[in-house]
Structure 1
Amino acid sequence: MAHQRVYMDQLAVPVWILAAMNKDQYRKPMTGMWDFLEEKENEGVPIDRSQSFYVGDAAGREAGWKLTMKKDHSCVDRKFAANIGLKFHTPEGFFLNEAEAPFSWGAFNPQEYPRTLPLTDQSSPPIASKEKEVIVFVGYPSSGKSYFAQKYLVPEGYEYVNQDTLKSRDKCVKACKNALAADKSVVIDNTNPEASTRALYIKLAQLASVPVRCFYFTADEHLARHNNLYRAVQPSPTAREVLGDIAFRTFKSKFQEPKLSEGFDEIKKINFVFEGSDAQWQIWRQWRH
């Protein structure tokens, strides 16, 4: 706090220091701290964003943006300002009047993600089959698998098998076997990154003489991480806890792209398609990490 005290003494105006202590809606670039300031701690005085600005050094500048300078550790300050709608300056640009350096938003830009996408290849067979079958999901956490299953497959009579609910892979395999014995179709809603896990369900389908399809959710790591943070901070009955980095790193390290040679009758690629109101879409498009 010592260097902040120096600035505050020289400014001689009221200063708020807000610190995000967890990885939640208050962590930049999410806007929770700003929302708190506006709603709770500005004594009811409206903030004119057109007359406000944000200065930060996490600006997405690449290594060498200035002689001997390293790459910025992130771009969250620039993203935070963009989420709020404030003019953004780097310390060098604002205090030293230097020209702003080139920058990168990073690997994923939610503001460029399309509002509408085909859910899947329209020329492929329908999502739900009238014949008994096994569907094995493959995809990152937060890639839309559970929502997809509940919307398109469970209403069609598919037995829903999920390891988050059953707590072990062995119980998932047993549930699949029991459903097939009861003459029911099954959807396996797990991440299933490696071929060895998928083989367990393929074998069950083959023993039951029913087709087995793979639904491969194409959302990459960056999109999945974005969805993880979005869905965790939404005030809704379906809001979830933020998944830790380990969930994404584990999937990435184990991932083997599914192939027909594993024994699948079809591999259907599923795009992430945002569903919600226009207002919710604008919130989804905000930077999350």
Structure 2
Amino acid sequence: MEAIIFCGLQATGKTGFYKEHFLQTHVRISLDLLKSRYREDLFLGACIKGMQPFVVDNTNPGAADREKYIRLALENKFRVIGYYFRSNLADALERNSRRSGKALIPKVGVLNTYKRLEVPQLSEGFDELHYVELGENGFTIRAWNHEI
């Protein structure tokens, strides 16, 4: 079983990447969708109990944010794979500015996430890590090499 954990700023393509790569195989666990940690925990628990592959589609900017998902997955024999959505702040802010409605995150929200952003490390418990970049021609997945 796989636990996929996304990490990165808002407006870096996480949900689009989920739709393109995992929609048919993994349950999406997202605070944007579920609206509360209580609901998130219910879905996460159901995936663990049912041995259902899942993707945590949140910003997860710091190691502390990722820890509960990694710990729970490892305790239940899930393989933990991380995708770090690499983007510079200006690009993320520009893409965010093109959003509307609830998808539009206040600039201060993106800036606060940027301040808390820690590049994930294998030592957190990941079995694999990958870089993802969103470009004009879609997503590029790159091998992990421990640099920003």
Structure 2-normalised TM-score?
0.85
Cα distance in 1, alignment partners of residues 130 and 103 from structure 2: 29
The residue aligned with 2:30 is 162
Rg (Cα) greater in structure: 1
Question: How far apart are residue 210 of structure 1 and its match?
Answer: 1.3
1:98-247 correspondence to structure 2 within 5 Å: 132-155=1-24, 157-232=25-100, 241-247=103-109
Cα distance in 1, alignment partners of residues 79 and 93 from structure 2: 32
Rate the CA distance shift 1:165–1:181 in 2: closer, same or farther, 3 A. same
Structure 1-normalised TM-score?
0.45
Rate the CA distance shift 1:135–1:241 in 2: closer, same or farther, 3 A. closer
* Aligned partners of 1:173 and 1:201 also within 8 Å: no
- Structure with bigger strand share is 2
Unmatched 5+ stretches in structure 2: 139-148
Rate the CA distance shift 1:214–1:170 in 2: closer, same or farther, 3 A. farther
The residue aligned with 1:256 is 118
Q: What percentage of aligned pairs have identical amino acids?
A: 28
Q: Of residues 127, 136, 139 in structure 2, which corresponds to 1:274?
A: 136
Higher relative contact order (CA 8 A, sep 6+): 2
Q: Secondary structure at the match of 2:82?
A: strand
Structure 1 segments, 4+ long, off by >3 Å, are none
Task: Please provide the CA RMSD for this pair.
Answer: 1.8
Q: What residue identity is the alignment partner of 2:110?
A: F
Question: How far apart are residue 228 of structure 1 and its match?
Answer: 1.0
Cα distance in 1, alignment partners of residues 97 and 63 from structure 2: 28
Q: Secondary structure at the match of 1:154?
A: coil
Q: Secondary structure at the match of 2:135?
A: coil
Unmatched 5+ stretches in structure 1: 1-131, 233-238, 277-289
Q: Secondary structure at the match of 2:45?
A: helix
Q: Deviations over 1:240-281 (max 9, x none)?
A: 6432112112101211111001000111100113358xxxxx
Q: What residue identity is the alignment partner of 2:18?
A: A
Q: Deviations over 1:67-125 (max 9, x none)?
A: xxxxxxxxxxxxxxxxxxxxxxxxxxxxxxxxxxxxxxxxxxxxxxxxxxxxxxxxxxx
How many pairs were matched up? 138
Q: What residue identity is the alignment partner of 1:154?
A: L
